[in-house]
Amino acid sequence: MPYKDPKDPRKLEAQRKHYENHSQKVKLAVSKRRKEIRAKWREFKATLQCTKCGQRHPATLDFHHVKKDRSNKSVNTLAKNAQYQRVMEEIKKCVVLCANCHRIHHWEERKAKKAARKK
């Protein structure tokens, strides 16, 4: 039961009562929605592969942001929260790397920064 003014105590009370009276129904709906989100996300990740080595297993794939930016969001967090429009916008800023290639990439990046500082 959505409300427009979160500070209005009457509406907060109404929402609380609604949840109390329908908690099982709400919990089931939330559980069902989360399962749908996970299935949709797994299905999408199954179409991807690492851009360096070609690894395809969805559990190993990471999204590496090409440009470092404070406004970058975690793709997995956005997907978990079912914000698919924002997920797709964020993925456009990324390259897909498997976990190993992603770690190696960051290791090499740090190594290059250290070498540049020593010069």
Cβ-in-10-Å burial (0-12, 13-18, 19+) of 98 comes to buried
Q: What is the pTM of this model?
A: 0.68
Sign of CA dihedral 11, 12, 13, 16: positive
- pLDDT of 102 > 60? The answer is yes
The alpha carbon of 62 is separated from its chain's Cα centroid by a whole number of angstroms, namely: 11
pLDDT for the residue 1: 46
The CA-based dihedral angle spanning residues 10, 15, 16, 19, taken in that order and rounded to the nearest 10 degrees: 160
**Of the candidate ranges 39-43, 46-50, 97-101, the one whose mean pLDDT is the lowest:** 39-43
